[in-house]
A and B are shown apart, each in its own frame.
Chain A
Amino acid sequence: MGMSQAEDWVLLAYRLPRVPSTPRSAVWRKLKRLGVAWLGDGLVALPADPRTREQLEWVAEEVTEHGGEAMLWQGRPLDAGARSAVVSRMTAAVAAEYEAVAAEAAAVRTADAAARRRAVARLRRELHRIQDRDFFTCPQREAARRAVEHLAAADTAGTRA
């Protein structure tokens, strides 16, 4: 969940055999879901807190279970410009996801009530998923949340009266 003005980052350096490719893509999907910054080939980072540290610890465990090598580090960037470039990249990635949610909510407004209700349930779940990897409270979050709640309000307004 979004936090972290903290300067420390937790880094995972890992190497997995190219074959079989299944564990490689499983690890890749997991890192993607966690919203890591990709710093280089086999080097990812997250703003450090007990939760992100644990998340990367278990990914490291999975890498070693599949015959790879993994090492965790904690540290801070010495180059402020490079740090803010990394943060911008991470923020842009979640911003795009929020915008997609807002666009979907807008697109489904004219659909029938059942389709709208299904969309609300799905988009709320999607918002939670995105929020978990939104470490820097991306400004698009609020707009996306409002778009989904707007859609929900349109359907509950009648029943509440």
Chain B
Amino acid sequence: MKWATRPGVHVDRAACAWLIRRFVDPAAEFIFPADPAAVPADATPFDMRGAALGHHHGQCSFETALAAFGLDADPALEEIGRIVHEADLADERYDAPAAAGLDVLIRGLTLTGGSDHDTLTVTGRLFDGLYEHTRRQLMTGRPPA
């Protein structure tokens, strides 16, 4: 399936793309039209104005996507939702100290000049790691060594 989001991906879009590829559509193809009106009919838009998979009711697109894909029963994904929320919105709804670091890392990554596809390749690994870390921490109640 085709998935569309704005170019210059940052934390919320990177997190959504990871979620889609890992849990929803392993063969996902991502495109980056600058204008929401330029999204092809066969693509599902996310983190764009007017998209169902966007910011709604004070939630970031990743949180919206978790609910839309029925993945919100996974506590590790919920926790990542809180981290992405704070990295993206910084409204202090949640206590998520990892958010500041994630924001800086992805912002820096986008400054190094790779394409959005390159960014998603690196952030995919990053979110794989964050997921594993969060999952183990929730299992043992301790940060994994």
Contacts and interface: CB of A to CB of B under 8 A. Distances in A.
Interface of A: 26, 30, 33, 50-51, 54, 57-58, 60-62, 65, 128-129, 132
Nearest to A57: B49
A58 B55 CA distance: 7
Given A57-B49, A60-B49, A65 B91 contact: no
Interface residues of B, number: 12
Nearest to B57: A65
A84 B120 CA distance: 40
Contact of B8 (A30, A50, A58): A50
Given A58-B55, A132-B90, 6 more contacts: A33-B91, A57-B49, A58-B49, A62-B58, A65-B56, A129-B90
A71 B57 CA distance: 19
B55 A61 contact: yes
B8 A61 contact: no
Nearest to B13: A54
B114 to A, nearest CB: 16
A61 B54 contact: yes
Interface of B: 8, 10, 49-50, 54-58, 90-91, 100
Nearest to B104: A1
Query: By CB atoms of chain A within 10 A, which of B10, B55, B56, B58 has the most?
Result: B55
Query: By CB atoms of chain B within 10 A, which of A26, A33, A132 has the most?
Result: A33
A61 B49 contact: yes
21 contacts: A26-B58, A30-B91, A33-B91, A50-B8, A51-B10, A54-B10, A57-B49, A58-B49, A58-B55, A60-B49, A61-B49, A61-B50, A61-B54, A61-B55, A62-B55, A62-B58, A65-B56, A65-B57, A128-B100, A129-B90, A132-B90
Contacts of B58: 26, 62
A118 B57 CA distance: 32
Contacts of B100: 128
Nearest to B60: A58
B47 to A, nearest CB: 9
A102 B84 CA distance: 31
A131 to B, nearest CB: 11
A62 B89 CA distance: 13
Nearest to A65: B56
